[in-house]
Every structure is written in C-alpha cells, then in structure tokens.
Structure 1
Amino acid sequence: MNRHTLPRALFPVLVAVAAAAQPAAALPPQRPQVVDELTLSQVSGKYFGANMLVGLRVDLVSTLHTPQQGSASASGSLSIRRDGNGFEVQVDTRSGAVAGQHGAASAAGNPASTTGAETVRVNGIGQVSQIAGDGNAMANLTTISFEPSATTAATTHFNGLASSQASAGPLTARISFEDGGLQLGVAGPGARLGQQFNAGVDGQAGRISQVGQLAGHGLVGSNQLHLRLATEAMPVHMQHQLGIQQALAGLSALGR
C-alpha cells in the first residue's frame, strides 16, 4: 500500500472521464445505473448535508475463449482514495493464458478479416465490435455507479503490480497502468480484444474505449469495465472551513 500524492493530477482527471473485476476472475453481471439530477447535485454541491467525491475505483477484465479450449485473460484494479491532503493509491494487475488442446491452433483457412476498430478515437465512451466468421460471440460492457465510500474500499488483495503479461502458444494477454490511464490487450488466432482508459492529459479529452475483433470461428470474447465513484457526507469541519473562506472572500470585496 502506497501513500503519496497522485502524479499529474490523475485523480481529478480520471473523475472527469467518468466512464469489480475480481483479480483473475470474470466480473459478475452488471446493470446500467441511471444517475438522476438530485444525485449529481448532491455530489457537486457545497451546502449542509451535501455529499463530496472522496475516491474512485476502476475494475476491468477481458477474456477470450477459443474452440480448442484455449483461453486468455487480463484483469486490473485501480483504487484511489482521499487520505488527508493526499491520496492512497492501490493497483492490481493479473494475466493468464492456456493454449488448449491444439497449442498451435491458428486461423488458417479462414479468409475473413477485421480492420479499422483499432484506429477509432472517441471522446467519452466508445465500444466497437467487428465480427467475421461463424459461431463467434462478443460483448462490451461499461458501467458507472455512485456508491458510499465504504462499499468501494478494497476487499481483495492488491498486488501492487502496474503491469502483467502472459502467453501460451498463440494466445497472449497483457495489461499495463500508465501515467494518466491504462492499456489492456488479449489476442489469439483471428481475435483481438482491447480496452483503453485514458485520463486525458495535456489538454486532451479523456476516453474509455472497448474493442473486440473476431475473425475466426467459434471464438468468444468479453470486455468489462466498472467505474465506481465513492462519495460521503461532507464533514462539519469542512463545512465550517468553507463558510469562513466564503465570508472572508466577501469581506475582501468591500470597498475601503
């Protein structure tokens, strides 16, 4: 567990992106959550009883299964929580690959191909699926939720690794948290999955993108990402501090 100030203001920029995978396991089914105006006003307000944003957690996982019983997966978690004047940052990355019954399985003989999705650039959330061939299935899922601070606390061990990669036969999996975001990729014969979480540094807009390209037969792919924004009631001492600051600002505006 590391306690330090967040590099390059990663916390506020990640929040601006606003788009739980258990390590080495598939995410449970997720449902979209509609956030009403009242919830948003309570997060951003500065009045008695208002909630404030105190942290966030990002969990993601990508998996690929081949008809030869091969599989590859990559998962990661990032937790950022306010701690005094700084932030507590925890990270976890894991990856794995199994070649299957035919370790040298390939997409030979399949003339289908998928191109273009890897070059798509979006602001906000973008999901692209390109499928060619027979018996394939692909799913992209992004969920965003506002939750009490206690529910977003780490309930599993964070291994502290900022990157991980694995390979078996033709299957590969990799994930890497970078300054300002993360990159995830899973690939196999005739298949490529990817997720990108970009915080939008240097004046560029942030984005979340999920891409699935399947051009073989009998392939099953999945990208899942869950962003949880942690809120809690504004403490009394902070309300007092804000009140004093506003009062002083008002006095400074008086003529001399």
Structure 2
Amino acid sequence: MNRNLSQCGIAAGVCALACAFASGAASAAESIAASQPASPQAVQTMQAVPAFLSAAGQTTRAIHCEAVGDDVLSHQSGKYAGSEMISGFVLNLLSQWQLPNGASAVAQGALAVAQNAANQINAQVQTYAKVVDPAPGGTTAQTSGASPNATAAGGQNVTVNGVSQITQVAGNGNAGANAATIAWDNNAAQTANLPGAAGQSSAAASNASGSIKAGISFGNNGVSVTLQTPAGIATQNIVPGGAQQAGAIAQLLQVAGNNQQVANQLQLSLQTQQMTSQMIRQTGVLQALRNLH
C-alpha cells in the first residue's frame, strides 16, 4: 500500500524520533567519555592536536585557518545525523506471550518508509494479531499460571524521554525479555511477511472469554502494541516528540504469575542518503562550526 496520509505522519514522527535518539546517544557518549579519567594512551592521543588548536591560547596571534581532515573532525562534538540525511526506514515490532497451559498471544507490525528521487514519501504498513486458547471455556487463573496473590504495577506511569525498558515480575519460573535495536543500514531492510495484514494500520484479537487480548495500532504519528493475559501485560509504545517533551520508545513487561514466557522486540533500521565524499566533508565542517559558540 502506498499512502501519503496517516502513514506519512507516522513516518515523519518515527524518523524524527530516531534521529533524536541517535544525536542524544552521541551526546551521552561524549559526556561519559569526558567524565572518565584520562589513561596514558588517551593522554598521548590528546597531545597530538593540530597546530592551530595548540596555539589557541596565544591571543596576540592573528586569526589563522588551517584545513582539518576527517580524522580530526570525526572526534569533534556536535556531529550528528540530521533528519535530512534519512531517506527511509523499516520498523518491525513483535510482542508475544506463552502461557503454561498452551495458550498464547501475539501482536506484530511492520512499517516501511522510502523516499523517491522527487522527495515523495511512500509508506507500507502491516499488522497482525492472534490469540490461541486451548483451555475449554477460556483461560482460568488455575491453568494460566496467574497468581491472584501477586501484583506487578506502576510501570505504566513511568515517563522517560528516549528509550525505556521496564520489567516487573512477581512469580517463579518466568522468562521475559525487552529488546530494542536501532541500526544504520544503507541496504534495503526487509519487513516481516505477515499473513493477511497488508494495508491494515491496526489489528486485534481475543479469546472467547476476553481474558487474553492482543492488539497493535499505528496512529497519531506513533505506535502502540498491547498484550493482556491473566498473568499480566506486555506493551510497546512509540510516542512522537512535541513542543513540551521529546519522543520516547517504551517497552514494558508486567508478570504476576508462574512459568510465563513473554517478550517484546523492536527493530528500527534507518537508511541514509548516498553522499559524496565532498558532501560528507562539508557536512562535517558545518556541524563543527555550529558547535563553536
């Protein structure tokens, strides 16, 4: 499906969010590096600076410019991947829950966005949700492994700018995982091949009793994935940034039971525009100059 309506808004929101994470991660890495004590090897590296930097303290010297190579610019702060460099991305989401009685819930989605030569955005979306409940009359607390005396709560109220992963477990024999990957890949990434899901921005499923539910929705420039079982919930949310707050990717697992297997998986692959070596150097110089203030 090629659309320039809600999917395009989602594309812009997720793309800008990914760029913010990339630049934020770079700034965080630089801050951590600056706070660490310099090792002997680091001291030797710091001494090998260009001539115009070593003479910066001589105020009486006239302003002097010297060509700086990429090997030096690559270590300067202020370099980041701007949104104008992103030509497309592929987002894959998967949440799954396996209960000890054989019941299961799965919610899965994929969003692929590409920009053509005319700077037009094409988006393709897929969604899929499925619930399997082999227990007669619906899943009960006894067969599902849920523990009425155990509670796991509070994670839904946590607000974090950036990426957050929260796991709350009350029980024994459980296996749970939150996994998120944001990668740069100039090759065309592949989306998941979901059965009967092409062109649908949302999907939902539940068992007969309504005790197990699975749902996924792309909308309002964000994404929401939710699994609900007698033993807890699993969610994934992508919230776009706004004037009041930065964007966020949040993964949450809450398990109040025994012998549960649950996982959240998110994979975001960013494609960048092909740039000549001259364009790369110009971008590096521009970003370095912007940092001199």
2:164 to 111, 119, 126: 126
1:155 and 1:225 map into 2 onto residues whose CA distance is 12
Within the alignment, does 1:94 sit opposite 2:128 as a pair? yes
Change (3 A) 1:154 1:73: closer
Q: Which residue number in structure 2 is paired with residue 7 of structure 1?
A: 9
Within the alignment, does 1:106 sit opposite 2:144 as a pair? no
SS in 2 for 1:196: strand
Q: Which residue number in structure 2 is paired with residue 162 of structure 1?
A: 201
Residue 152 (structure 1) shift: 1.8
2:92 and 2:147 map into 1 onto residues whose CA distance is 37
The unaligned stretches of length 5 or more in structure 2 are 23-28, 31-72, 287-293
Quote the RMSD (CA, aligned, Å).
Answer: 3.4
- The equivalences for 1:58-73 within 5 A come to 58-73=91-106
Q: Which has the larger radius of gyration?
A: 2
1:234 to 275, 281, 287: 275
Q: Which residue number in structure 1 is paired with residue 36 of structure 2?
A: none
SS in 2 for 1:15: helix
Change (3 A) 1:155 1:96: closer
Q: Which residue number in structure 2 is paired with residue 136 of structure 1?
A: 174
When normalised by structure 1's length, the TM-score is 0.74
Select the structure that is richer in strand.
1
1:217 and 1:176 map into 2 onto residues whose CA distance is 29
2:240 and 2:79 map into 1 onto residues whose CA distance is 23
Select the structure that is richer in helix.
2
Q: Which residue number in structure 1 is paired with residue 188 of structure 2?
A: 151
SS in 2 for 1:151: coil
Residue 124 (structure 1) shift: 0.3
2:213 and 2:124 map into 1 onto residues whose CA distance is 25
Q: Which amino acid aligns with 2:16?
A: V
When normalised by structure 2's length, the TM-score is 0.66
Contact 1:71/1:100 (8 A) holds in 2: no
SS in 2 for 1:223: strand
Change (3 A) 1:109 1:124: closer
1:66-103 CA deviation, whole Å, 9 max, x = no partner?
01100001011111111223211111110000113353
Identical positions, percent: 31
- The equivalences for 1:184-223 within 5 A come to 184-223=225-264
Change (3 A) 1:201 1:92: farther
2:83 and 2:14 map into 1 onto residues whose CA distance is 19
Change (3 A) 1:12 1:154: closer
Q: Which residue number in structure 2 is paired with residue 53 of structure 1?
A: 86
How many residue pairs get aligned? The number is 220
Change (3 A) 1:71 1:156: closer
SS in 1 for 2:88: strand
Further displaced range: 4-13 or 169-178: 4-13
Contact 2:107/2:226 (8 A) holds in 1: yes
2:129 and 2:83 map into 1 onto residues whose CA distance is 41
Q: Which residue number in structure 2 is paired with residue 23 of structure 1?
A: none
The unaligned stretches of length 5 or more in structure 1 are 20-34, 47-51, 247-256
